[in-house]
């Protein structure tokens, strides 16, 4: 077991630790706003270090190649937060309750734009009852 | 519903994405990639722009008629095939050769690339036409 | 030789030219065009008289489609010439008559085109030497009859009659085609002369009776034999010249002709007598009975025709020379007097505006000339001496009487022949005396008077023939002899005389007339006959029930299948796949549970598969649409991972991208779609769906495994791997296959995508509900 | 592995079947997408499971590659499936717009003018 | 050596994917599910990376890159849908 | 120089479509181009036929790759006949479409789509590769999906839903079938598959039969055989008449063609298969026509008839004798001409009366006798009355059945013929007979009937020259029954 392998193993283990943390967080945390922290942060880190490990595995340490992989890391760092941000924003907009694990309507009030499709209050309420997932 | 973060990020990565898609297109003959994958890649990146900005902006940004793009793509693909017919080969015959170019060295040029470009254009045109049509249909 | 083609095709050509000629000479005079055509044909027929009346028949063949035994062959012997003579001769008279008969706003041109079309078909029918060609012309007469009956198609009755006629006769026509095909395949020929040579072989053949039955079904339906007789009375909705021409003197005799034609081929066996003579007998009696009960003049004549046709067919059924001779003679006589009677009825209808026998009476005062004609016709029909009907009826009586010698049960034939004749006598008297005697009828729709000469000419000529032949029968001798010889294939040499001596036939005639007079003069007896028959279920009622009910039944049947619910359609398809393929799999023992060695896999693969299956089930299970789509997205990711595990980087890439775009598309679309409604499905539906789903899933799994166990050992893929770099200059073999080895597939694929794009564009832009942004174009 | 794949295919088909038997056009479309994925998976299994390297030639002797042909076929099939699916989706949405129902049954006589 | 480690990690990752499916099932809200989808994407990404190590091939890194780039496009689309606005304005 | 004839029927419409796409605004160019394209294909097909007759089966290696590896275009006699029909039908439809298609549809790519449809159809006839067959099917179907809903009228949208779904579903099974075939034989070229099937061990033989059954169901759906036809009667009445006529004329025949090809070349003469085919054919013949009887919508009625008529064609394949197959091909030719002309007739009737329901029509013959006569000829031809082409189609099948002593099928053919007549008479007496003084919309019938005249005229030619035509189709049938010709030509043995 040479140095390179040790470094690779280290990165991989760190990666998998974060990934499993993210997943467990996703599963165990109590509500959405808590949960969204776990996967975005943890997995971003986890995946990045996994990729680093792979790069070192394939191209040695310090890596001789691996531009593509590093680009991937960059992208993950760029995009994962944006996705999470948008999602949180969406969750906020769809009035997910902050403190309770409420049953949430997935498309309530989306009719702001489509005026002609605006159903009556009554119907909306009724639909809401029907829509309740699970 | 404008998200500043999304705007910024999109502005940054859209170029990289498009370049990446061209990269996928060019290396398709030797590594994973190719016209279709590249085309979808480019479409997805432009869809991202659609998601970030509105249709009007995209139109200003990219004044392209998608049906014409489809036609152009089919033209490239078919025209490549017809080229073979004119030269006395069967329809869609491909050829390739290695050229020595000063400074760059030996590179491979294949007619398959023309075909792949046709595929690329058609895929981009069709995908975006579909998505923008629905988006507009609202 | 040419003249045969001439005879047959002149009417067709003239018919086709009618619309053109009509433009030149005007609609009013188009009738003359018909007369000219008929005259030309008649001339042609006359020019062939040498063959028709001589000993040596004419046999011309034009090859057409030898594979099916189809030759455009013409065979002119006594039988076919007699028919051709009648058809073209009466055709001339009918065309003449129709010229005066039709009046505005009837479209004249169409009428004469149909009429000539019919005439050509009928001539072709009788002259052809080939069974299948005969059937072709046969069906042409069906078509032209259909068109002619429906000529006044604005009346409900005409349409009803036309449809009935074509349906009933085409049942027989189709049966005939079947019989003819089997016969041709067995014997290798459809030519009558050839078939006659093979008569013994055919009569020995196991399929003899089916063939005979099929052919006879055609003959019976065309000649309106019971139980197919129902179409003929309704066919009387046609203009009267048509009724006279088609439905009394020519077309309905096609069946008789066919029986006479195949007489030498089939008549050797007992089935022949049993089938044909008995059907003829039944029809004769029934027809006469119905004729007696009718009040419409044309209906009486129609049933009378049915009855007379039965008489002829019965005589042919005896399969002896006398019967053949009697039939041949009666065909001529019947054509003359019945055609004439129809024309007279046409005159009556034309001049008085009604055909109802109960409204008409005393017409002899206003229409004396017509009365004379009617008198001749009715008496000939009744079988009174000095008219031709008497002579041929005598002959038939004689033939029937002879049957007693063959077998004792066959005594029914003479007995019922007499019964039928009594009825015939009675209604014939009714026609004449009811209409022309008694008090002068008031309140008729029109003021009756004798018609113009043109309309009297044709029936007059026929009446003359009726009387002359009745008195001087030897004139017809040559015709009858030639025809008899053709029917029996033996030389025939008879003399026709008016007086035979006191034969049994004469006594039968005497009995007929005597009882007939009694019956006619006793009102009470007549009323017994007029009362409602004891049995309610008639063939006509069956037809009337069947016609709408077949449509209703079909609607119900199709309604069961065509539920317009796509889930059932899917189930049919799945059912078909599972049943057909599954049956073969089970039959060959490929159906088994997954063997253990195939289940070997890494642990992570099991876990991945678990996630995959969970995601898959999620698509079905989730209630919210978005959750379904998300689950679908997961399925896509898992598929991508599977492709990676199976070493397919290109596929993984494609699947990823397509997955994302599909998810976006789904999201876009559900944005517009309504919320899913909570459809409460009953438990049984759920169980059904689950069962179908489980069955199909299991079936596919088993099928895949069975095939995998027999997987190929070599495949073309190796060639690609070996040659991709050297011959196509690429190392990514998948891409090389796509853009080089199988470029055409890729071309097709992008075309599909292009069409999809354009299609979506058109779909969104066109039609309903694009309310905003109409002008913006991408 | 092949057993596992076959089971996955079975599940895809089964779930797809369950969905296409529903009354909502949207669900039927989903089911058909699943069917398409099952077909892709089926084809790639027919090329053989775990037979070697990805089919990108390394120009070295003695390497066995997995079947490239099935991959090319699936690629084509995916694209075609994508095209048809997107068209179907739009059709579903347009049919809903026109009739205000996303039921997949032809609840009325479509042909009557 | 690394290969064995990688195999174990693979098992953990696939377990993690299966666990994420539980979140997809449980929900309760759509954003939760989307989040799970996102996590699965990342997990698949890691899965591919590790599998590359196991198989010793670099051919799959394109897929890695593509997932990294586009997984969030789907998230953005769904988010915009959830935000009641036009998805494409 | 290599001989490019075989690929022209695919190339011409493709190139025409691309040019039309570039001339998206200029509908005149598009119209002219579509007629020119059809005419060119017709000419090319005639030359191709002569070539095939003199030089044997023509094989064309797409992209210059030899047979089992690249995609092979194979033109044998059957393919030539089918191509001829598609060219003829498209010519007639283009002529009709010139006056029929409205400006809005023209603007949204009606003509390019039509050409691409034609390309897909011709490709399906010509290809010798089973996966390429799938691709060509999809090109054809995709174009048909779009053309079916083209115009986005409410009823069109709903009517085409089922069509798209069912065909997408069936296509999936097609893919299943291709995958399984590849799994067993390791090849995609049809000739190569045929060789592999011949050499397969008996244990595998059963599996191959099962796979072939799957393909049969797929083609059965595309052809609309009982019990797989349900999508069709709701779909065919929807699009503009010219399109519907094209569908009826040639698109259902692609399925018949595929069945013929599959069960003569790849999986020939299996006892079980033939029995299934014959039973399904008879069921189609009878149930289809019963469906037609139940309808009063002109076009739905005709669509149901297609189900029934396809049964006749498939029955010929089921007989699996030279005469049976010849009958099948003859019937395909007859039906494609007659059914499309009937559809065109229905279009004129719709225009005249503003109605699709035959109960609400009436008296057309009084004002338009010539057009009515054309309809009558077509109708009686469909019903199999002599001396029109339908009679000979049935006659050949009857002979084929009688030769094989399959009398029960003879009876079925006759009963089917009778019921067809029944429904045709129903149309005639309701729509064409009836009123003496009917009132109609102002339509220049004269400019519409040219397509019908071409088609009915060709069908008359088919009837009059039945022997030469039969000899031609018999040659094709014998070629089909001797797959070694095809195999040797493709694989250059």
- Chain D residues with CB under 8 Å of C600 CB are 1, 3
The three-state secondary structure class of C677 is: coil
- Shared domain for C460 and C329, answered yes or no, is yes
Query: B25-47, pLDDT tens digit by residue?
Result: 888 778 888 888 999 999 998 88
Across the range F69-97, mean pLDDT stands at 90
Q: CA-CA distance, C332 to C341, in Å (whole number)?
A: 14
Rounded alpha-carbon distances, angstroms, from residue D16 to C658, D8, F242: 19, 12, 36
At a CB cut-off of 8 Å and minimum separation 6, what does A2 contact?
A: none
Report the run of H or E that residue C628 belongs to, with start and end. Answer: helix C625-645
Residue C747: what pLDDT?
A: 92
Q: Checking phi first, is residue A95 left (phi over 0); if not, alpha (psi -120 to 50) or beta? A: left
Q: Please report the number of interchain residue pairs, chain A to chain E, with beta-carbon separation below 8 angstroms.
A: 191
pLDDT exceeds 70 at position F302: yes
Total tally of structural domains belonging to chain C: 3
E33 with E24: CB under 8 angstroms?
yes
Strand partners, F129: F189
Q: Is any Cβ of chain E less than 8 angstroms from the Cβ of C676?
A: no
Choose among C608, C638, C656: nearest Cβ to E66.
Answer: C656
Tell if the CB–CB gap between B75 and F7 is shorter than 8 Å.
Answer: no
- Shared domain for C624 and C732, answered yes or no, is no
Count CB atoms within 10 A of the CB of residue F201.
Answer: 7
Q: How many CA atoms lie within 13 A of F279 on its CB side?
A: 10
Please report, for chain E, the start and end positions of each structural domain, with discontinuous segments joined by +: 2-84
* pLDDT-derived band at C678, boundaries 50, 70, 90: low
Residue A106: what pLDDT?
A: 37
C283 with C229: CB under 8 angstroms?
yes
- Shared domain for C697 and C747, answered yes or no, is no
Mutate to test the interface with F, among B70, B78, B90 (most CBs of F within 10 A): B90
Across the range C761-769, mean pLDDT stands at 75
Where would I find the beta strands (DSSP E) of F114-241?
A: none
Q: How many CA atoms lie within 13 A of F333 on its CB side?
A: 30
* pLDDT-derived band at A117, boundaries 50, 70, 90: very low
- Hey, what's the torsion of the CAs at C103, C109, C112, C113, to 10 degrees? -160
Q: CA-CA distance, C419 to C425, in Å (whole number)?
A: 10
Mutate to test the interface with B, among C752, C754, C762 (most CBs of B within 10 A): C754
Mutate to test the interface with B, among F7, F18, F67, F146 (most CBs of B within 10 A): F18
Query: F310-348, pLDDT tens digit by residue?
Result: 999 999 999 999 999 999 999 999 999 999 999 999 999
- Chain F residues with CB under 8 Å of B90 CB are 2, 4, 7, 60-64
* pLDDT-derived band at A6, boundaries 50, 70, 90: confident
* Per-residue tokens: F61: 């290696």
Quick check: is D113 in a domain? no
Q: Is any Cβ of chain D less than 8 angstroms from the Cβ of B104?
A: no
* pLDDT-derived band at C564, boundaries 50, 70, 90: confident
Q: CA-CA distance, F205 to F201, in Å (whole number)?
A: 6
Numbered residues of chain F with Cβ closer than 8 Å to any chain B Cβ: 1-2, 4, 7, 11, 14-15, 17-18, 21-22, 24, 60-64, 109
Q: CA-CA distance, D35 to D18, in Å (whole number)?
A: 11
Strand partners, B97: B109
- Chain D residues with CB under 8 Å of F172 CB are 32, 35-36, 38-39
Q: CA-CA distance, F440 to C450, in Å (whole number)?
A: 41
Residue C176: what pLDDT?
A: 93
Quick check: is D105 in a domain? no
pLDDT exceeds 90 at position F251: no
Q: Please report the number of interchain residue pairs, chain B to chain E, with beta-carbon separation below 8 angstroms.
A: 46
Choose among B41, B131, B136: nearest Cβ to E66.
Answer: B41
Q: Is C495 exposed, middle or buried (0-12, 13-18, 19+ CB in 10 A)?
A: exposed
Tell if the CB–CB gap between B6 and A86 is shorter than 8 Å.
Answer: yes
Quick check: is C188 in a domain? no
At a CB cut-off of 8 Å and minimum separation 6, what does F131 contact?
A: C742, C745, D73, D76, F178, F188
Q: Is any Cβ of chain F less than 8 angstroms from the Cβ of C761?
A: yes
What pTM was estimated for this model as a whole?
0.91
Across the range E9-35, mean pLDDT stands at 85
Mutate to test the interface with A, among C675, C679, C769 (most CBs of A within 10 A): C675
Query: F413-423, pLDDT tens digit by residue?
Result: 999 999 999 99
Tell if the CB–CB gap between D46 and F179 is shorter than 8 Å.
Answer: yes
B14 with B41: CB under 8 angstroms?
no
Residue of chain C nearest F66, judged by CA positions: C741
Query: B63-88, pLDDT tens digit by residue?
Result: 888 889 999 999 998 988 888 888 88
Portion of chain F with pLDDT greater than 90, in percent = 55
Choose among A110, A127, A133: nearest Cβ to C623.
Answer: A133
Mutate to test the interface with E, among D54, D65, D68, D75 (most CBs of E within 10 A): D54
Tell if the CB–CB gap between B36 and D79 is shorter than 8 Å.
Answer: yes
Query: C417-439, pLDDT tens digit by residue?
Result: 999 999 999 889 888 888 888 88
pLDDT exceeds 80 at position A134: no
Query: C50-105, pLDDT tens digit by residue?
Result: 888 887 888 888 888 888 888 888 899 889 999 999 999 999 999 999 888 888 78
Residue B126 lies in domain: 4-137
Strand pairing category for F72-75 and C70-76 = unpaired
Q: Is F56 exposed, middle or buried (0-12, 13-18, 19+ CB in 10 A)?
A: middle
C80 with C486: CB under 8 angstroms?
yes
- Chain C residues with CB under 8 Å of E85 CB are none
Residue D113: what pLDDT?
A: 38
The three-state secondary structure class of C70 is: strand
Residue C719 lies in domain: 714-778
Q: CA-CA distance, B118 to F388, in Å (whole number)?
A: 49
Q: CA-CA distance, D79 to F135, in Å (whole number)?
A: 11
Tell if the CB–CB gap between E51 and C644 is shorter than 8 Å.
Answer: yes
C754 with B122: CB under 8 angstroms?
yes
Residue A118: what pLDDT?
A: 42
Distance from CA of D56 to the nearest CA of B (A): 7
pLDDT exceeds 50 at position F428: yes
C226 with C279: CB under 8 angstroms?
yes
Q: CA-CA distance, F132 to A53, in Å (whole number)?
A: 44
* pLDDT-derived band at E86, boundaries 50, 70, 90: low
Residue C169: what pLDDT?
A: 92
D31 with D16: CB under 8 angstroms?
yes
Query: C440-488, pLDDT tens digit by residue?
Result: 877 777 788 888 888 888 999 999 999 998 888 888 888 888 888 888 8
pLDDT exceeds 50 at position C775: no
- Chain D residues with CB under 8 Å of B30 CB are 56
Q: Is any Cβ of chain D less than 8 angstroms from the Cβ of F27?
A: no
Strand partners, C107: none
- Alpha helix locations (H) across C247-277? 254-266, 270-272
Report the run of H or E that residue F74 belongs to, with start and end. Answer: strand F72-75
Distance from CA of B91 to the nearest CA of F (A): 6
Residue with tokens 């069962």: C691
Across the range C393-422, mean pLDDT stands at 88
pLDDT exceeds 60 at position C770: no
Angle between helices D2-20 and C625-645 (to 10 degrees): 160
Across the range C717-721, mean pLDDT stands at 85
Mark whether F and A touch (3+ CB pairs within 8 Å). Answer: no
Quick check: is C131 in a domain? no
In this structure, is the dihedral angle defined by the CA atoms of residues C123, C127, C133 and C139, taken in order, positive or negative?
A: positive
Please list the pLDDT of chain D residue by residue as tens digits (113 residues). Answer: 888 899 999 999 999 999 999 888 888 999 999 999 999 999 999 888 766 778 888 777 777 888 889 999 999 999 999 999 999 998 888 888 777 777 777 655 444 43
Q: CA-CA distance, A65 to A57, in Å (whole number)?
A: 11
pLDDT exceeds 90 at position F119: yes
Distance from CA of E54 to the nearest CA of D (A): 12
Residue D46 lies in domain: 2-51+64-99
Angle at E34 between CA E28 and CA E35, to 5 degrees: 90
Query: A81-115, pLDDT tens digit by residue?
Result: 888 888 888 877 776 655 443 334 333 444 333 33
* Per-residue tokens: F237: 């009445």
Distance from CA of A124 to the nearest CA of B (A): 20
* pLDDT-derived band at E89, boundaries 50, 70, 90: low
Tell if the CB–CB gap between D105 and C566 is shorter than 8 Å.
Answer: yes
Please, which chains are in contact with D (at least 3 CB pairs closer than 8 A)?
B, C, E, F
* Per-residue tokens: F452: 């019908």
Residue of chain C nearest E10, judged by CA positions: C604
The three-state secondary structure class of C733 is: helix
Portion of chain C with pLDDT greater than 90, in percent = 31
Q: CA-CA distance, C530 to C508, in Å (whole number)?
A: 25
Q: CA-CA distance, C297 to C315, in Å (whole number)?
A: 27
Q: CA-CA distance, C464 to C380, in Å (whole number)?
A: 12
Q: CA-CA distance, D90 to C764, in Å (whole number)?
A: 8
Mutate to test the interface with A, among B12, B15, B16 (most CBs of A within 10 A): B16
Across the range C508-512, mean pLDDT stands at 89
Query: C727-758, pLDDT tens digit by residue?
Result: 877 888 888 888 888 889 999 999 999 999 99
Total tally of structural domains belonging to chain D: 1
Rounded alpha-carbon distances, angstroms, from residue C654 to B36, B119, E62, E75: 8, 14, 11, 19
Mark whether A and B touch (3+ CB pairs within 8 Å). Answer: yes
Quick check: is C602 in a domain? yes
């Amino acid at each position: 077991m040479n140095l390179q392998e040790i470094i690779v193993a280290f990165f991989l283990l760190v990666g998998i630790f974060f990934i499993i943390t993210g997943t467990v967080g996703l599963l165990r945390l109590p509500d959405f706003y808590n949960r969204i922290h776990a996967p975005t942060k943890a997995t971003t880190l986890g995946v990045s270090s996994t990729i680093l490990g792979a790069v070192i595995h394939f191209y040695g340490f310090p890596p001789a190649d691996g531009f593509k992989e590093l680009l991937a890391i960059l992208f993950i760092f760029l995009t994962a937060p944006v996705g999470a941000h948008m999602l949180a924003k969406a969750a906020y907009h769809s009035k997910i309750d902050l403190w309770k694990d409420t049953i949430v309507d997935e498309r309530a009030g989306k009719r702001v734009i489509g005026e002609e499709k605006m159903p009556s209050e009554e119907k909306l309420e009724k639909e809401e009852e029907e829509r309740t997932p699970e | 519903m404008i998200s500043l973060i999304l705007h910024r990020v999109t502005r940054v990565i859209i170029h990289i994405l498009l370049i990446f898609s061209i990269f996928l297109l060019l290396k398709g003959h030797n590594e994973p990639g190719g016209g279709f994958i590249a085309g979808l890649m480019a479409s997805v990146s432009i869809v991202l722009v659609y998601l970030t900005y509105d249709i009007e902006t995209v139109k200003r940004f990219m004044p392209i008629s998608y049906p014409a793009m489809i036609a152009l793509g089919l033209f490239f693909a078919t025209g490549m095939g017809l080229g073979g017919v004119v030269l006395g080969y069967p329809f869609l015959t491909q050829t390739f050769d290695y050229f020595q170019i000063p400074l760059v060295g030996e590179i491979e040029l294949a007619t398959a690339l023309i075909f792949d470009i046709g595929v690329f254009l058609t895929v981009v045109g069709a995908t975006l036409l579909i998505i923008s049509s629905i988006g507009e249909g609202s | 030789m040419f003249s045969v083609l001439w005879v047959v095709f002149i009417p067709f050509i003239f018919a086709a030219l009618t619309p053109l000629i009509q433009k030149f000479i005007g609609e009013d005079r188009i009738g003359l065009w018909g007369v000219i055509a008929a005259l030309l044909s008649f001339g042609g027929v006359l020019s062939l008289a040498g063959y028709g009346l001589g000993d040596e028949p004419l046999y011309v063949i034009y090859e057409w489609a030898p594979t099916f035994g189809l030759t455009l062959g013409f065979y002119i012997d006594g039988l076919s010439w007699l028919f051709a003579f009648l058809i073209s001769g009466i055709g001339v008279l009918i065309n003449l008559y129709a010229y005066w008969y039709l009046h505005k706003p009837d479209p004249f041109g169409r009428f004469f085109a149909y009429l000539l079309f019919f005439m050509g078909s009928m001539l072709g029918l009788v002259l052809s030497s080939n069974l299948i060609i005969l059937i072709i012309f046969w069906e042409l007469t069906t078509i032209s009859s259909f068109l002619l009956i429906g000529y006044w198609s604005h009346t409900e009755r005409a349409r009803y009659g036309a449809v009935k006629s074509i349906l009933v006769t085409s049942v027989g026509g189709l049966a005939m085609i079947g019989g003819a095909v089997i016969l041709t395949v067995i014997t290798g020929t459809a030519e009558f002369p050839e078939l006659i040579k093979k008569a013994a072989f055919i009569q020995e053949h196991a399929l003899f009776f089916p063939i005979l039955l099929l052919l006879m079904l055609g003959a019976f339906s065309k000649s309106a034999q019971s139980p197919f007789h129902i179409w003929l009375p309704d066919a009387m909705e046609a203009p009267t010249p048509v009724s006279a021409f088609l439905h009394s003197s020519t077309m309905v005799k096609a069946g008789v002709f066919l029986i006479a034609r195949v007489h030498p081929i089939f008549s050797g066996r007992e089935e022949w007598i049993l089938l044909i003579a008995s059907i003829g007998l039944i029809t004769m009696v029934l027809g006469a009975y119905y004729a007696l009960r009718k009040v419409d003049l044309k209906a009486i004549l129609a049933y009378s025709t049915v009855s007379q046709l039965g008489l002829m067919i019965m005589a042919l059924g005896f399969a002896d020379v006398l019967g053949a001779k009697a039939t041949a003679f009666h065909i001529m006589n019947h054509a003359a007097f019945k055609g004439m009677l129809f024309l007279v009825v046409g005159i009556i209808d034309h001049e008085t505006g009604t055909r109802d026998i109960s409204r008409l009476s005393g017409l002899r005062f206003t229409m004396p000339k017509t009365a004379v004609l009617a008198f001749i016709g009715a008496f000939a029909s009744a079988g009174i001496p000095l008219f031709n009907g008497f002579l041929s009826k005598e002959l038939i009586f004689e033939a029937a009487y002879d049957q007693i010698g063959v077998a004792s049960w066959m005594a029914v034939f003479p007995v019922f022949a007499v019964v039928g004749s009594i009825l015939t006598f009675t209604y014939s008297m009714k026609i004449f005396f009811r209409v022309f005697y008694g008090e002068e009828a008031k309140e008729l729709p029109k003021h009756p008077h004798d018609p113009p000469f043109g309309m009297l000419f044709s029936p007059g000529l026929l009446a003359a023939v009726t009387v002359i032949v009745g008195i001087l029968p030897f004139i017809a001798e040559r015709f009858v002899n030639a025809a008899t010889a053709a029917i029996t294939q033996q030389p025939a040499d008879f003399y026709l005389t008016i007086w035979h001596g006191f034969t049994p036939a004469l006594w039968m005639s005497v009995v007929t007339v005597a009882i007939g007079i009694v019956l006619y003069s006793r009102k009470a007896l007549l009323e017994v006959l007029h009362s409602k028959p004891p049995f309610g279920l008639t063939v006509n009622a069956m037809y009337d029930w069947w016609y709408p009910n077949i449509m209703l039944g079909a609607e119900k049947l199709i309604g069961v299948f065509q539920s317009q619910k796509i889930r059932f359609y899917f189930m049919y398809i799945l059912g078909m796949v599972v049943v057909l393929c599954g049956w073969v799999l089970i039959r060959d023992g490929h159906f088994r549970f997954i063997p253990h060695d195939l289940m070997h896999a890494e642990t992570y693969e099991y876990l991945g598969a678990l996630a995959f299956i969970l995601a898959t089930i999620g698509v079905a299970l989730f209630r919210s649409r978005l959750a379904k789509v998300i689950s679908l997205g997961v399925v896509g990711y898992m598929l991508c991972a599977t492709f990676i595990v199976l070493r397919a980087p290109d596929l993984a890439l494609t699947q990823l991208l397509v997955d994302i775009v599909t998810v976006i598309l789904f999201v876009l679309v559900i944005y517009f779609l309504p919320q899913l409604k909570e459809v409460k499905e009953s438990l049984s539906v759920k169980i059904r769906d689950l069962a179908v789903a489980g069955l199909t899933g299991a079936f596919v799994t088993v099928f895949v495994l069975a095939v995998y166990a027999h997987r190929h050992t070599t495949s073309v893929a190796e060639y690609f791997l070996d040659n991709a770099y050297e011959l196509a200059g690429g190392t990514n073999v998948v891409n090389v296959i796509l853009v080089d080895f199988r470029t055409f597939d890729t071309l097709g694929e992008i075309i599909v995508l292009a069409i999809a794009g354009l299609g979506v564009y058109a779909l969104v832009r066109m039609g309903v509900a694009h309310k905003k942004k109409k002008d913006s174009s991408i | 592995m092949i057993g596992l794949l076959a089971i996955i295919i079975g599940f895809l088909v089964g779930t797809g079947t369950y969905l296409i038997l529903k009354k909502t056009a949207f669900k039927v479309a989903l089911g058909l997408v699943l069917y398409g994925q099952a077909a892709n998976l089926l084809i790639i299994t027919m090329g053989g499971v775990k037979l070697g390297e990805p089919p990108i030639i390394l120009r070295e002797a003695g390497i066995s590659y997995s079947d490239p042909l099935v991959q090319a076929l699936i690629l084509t099939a995916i694209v075609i499936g994508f095209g048809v699916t997107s068209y179907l989706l739009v059709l579903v949405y347009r049919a809903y717009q026109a009739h205000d129902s996303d039921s997949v049954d032809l609840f009325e006589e479509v042909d009557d003018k | 050596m690394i290969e064995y480690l990688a195999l174990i990690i693979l098992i953990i990752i696939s377990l993690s994917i299966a666990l994420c499916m539980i979140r997809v099932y449980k929900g309760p809200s759509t954003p939760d599910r989307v989040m799970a989808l996102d996590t699965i994407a990342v997990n698949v990404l890691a899965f591919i990376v590790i599998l590359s190590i196991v198989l010793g091939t670099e051919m799959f890194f394109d897929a890695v890159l593509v997932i990294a780039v586009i997984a969030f496009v789907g998230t953005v689309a769904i988010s915009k849908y959830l935000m009641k606005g036009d998805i494409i304005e | 120089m290599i001989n490019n004839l075989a690929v022209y029927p695919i190339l011409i419409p493709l190139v025409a479509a691309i040019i039309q796409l570039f001339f998206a605004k200029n509908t005149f160019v598009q119209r002219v181009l579509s007629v020119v394209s059809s005419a060119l294909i017709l000419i090319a097909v005639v030359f191709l036929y002569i070539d095939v007759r003199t030089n044997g089966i023509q094989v064309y290696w797409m992209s210059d790759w030899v047979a089992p590896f690249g995609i092979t275009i194979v033109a044998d006699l059957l393919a030539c006949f089918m191509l001829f029909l598609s060219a003829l039908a498209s010519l007639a439809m283009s002529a009709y479409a010139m006056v029929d298609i409205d400006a809005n549809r023209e603007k949204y790519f009606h003509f390019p789509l039509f050409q691409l449809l034609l390309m897909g159809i011709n490709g399906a006839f010509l290809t010798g590769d089973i996966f390429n067959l799938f691709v060509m099917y999809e090109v054809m179907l995709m174009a048909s999906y779009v053309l079916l809903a083209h115009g986005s009228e409410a009823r069109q949208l709903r009517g085409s839903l089922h069509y798209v779904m069912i065909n997408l579903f069936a296509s999936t099974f097609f893919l299943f079938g291709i995958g399984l075939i590849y799994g067993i034989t390791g090849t995609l070229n049809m000739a190569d598959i045929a060789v592999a099937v011949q050499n397969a061990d008996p244990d595998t033989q059963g599996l191959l039969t099962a796979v072939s059954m799957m393909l049969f169901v797929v083609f059965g759906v595309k052809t609309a055989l009982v019990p797989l036809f349900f999508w069709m009667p709701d779909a065919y009445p929807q699009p503009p008449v010219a399109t519907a006529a094209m569908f009826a004329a040639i698109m259902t025949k692609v399925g018949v063609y595929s069945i013929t090809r599959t069960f003569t070349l790849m999986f020939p003469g299996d006892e079980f298969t033939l029995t299934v085919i014959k039973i399904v054919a008879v069921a189609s013949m009878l149930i289809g026509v019963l469906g037609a009887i139940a309808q009063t919508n002109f076009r739905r009625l005709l669509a149901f008839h297609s189900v029934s008529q396809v049964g006749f064609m498939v029955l010929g394949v089921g007989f699996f004798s030279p005469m049976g197959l010849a009958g099948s091909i003859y019937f395909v030719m007859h039906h494609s001409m007659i059914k499309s002309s009937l559809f065109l007739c229905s279009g004129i009737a719709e225009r005249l009366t503003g109605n699709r329901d035959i109960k609400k029509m009436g008296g057309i013959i009084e004002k338009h006798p010539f057009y009515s006569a054309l309809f009558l000829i077509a109708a009686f031809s469909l019903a199999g009355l002599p001396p029109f082409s339908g009679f000979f189609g049935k006659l050949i099948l009857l002979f084929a059945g009688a030769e094989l002593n399959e009398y029960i099928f003879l009876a079925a053919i006759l009963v089917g013929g009778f019921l067809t007549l029944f429904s045709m008479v129903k149309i005639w007496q309701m729509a064409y007979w009836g009123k003496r003084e009917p009132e109609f919309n102002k339509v220049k019938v004269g400019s519409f009937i040219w397509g019908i005249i071409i088609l009915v005229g060709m069908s008359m030619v088919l009837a009059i020259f039945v022997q030469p035509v039969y000899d031609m189709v018999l040659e094709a049938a014998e070629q089909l029954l001797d797959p070694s010709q095809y195999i040797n030509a493709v694989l250059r043995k």
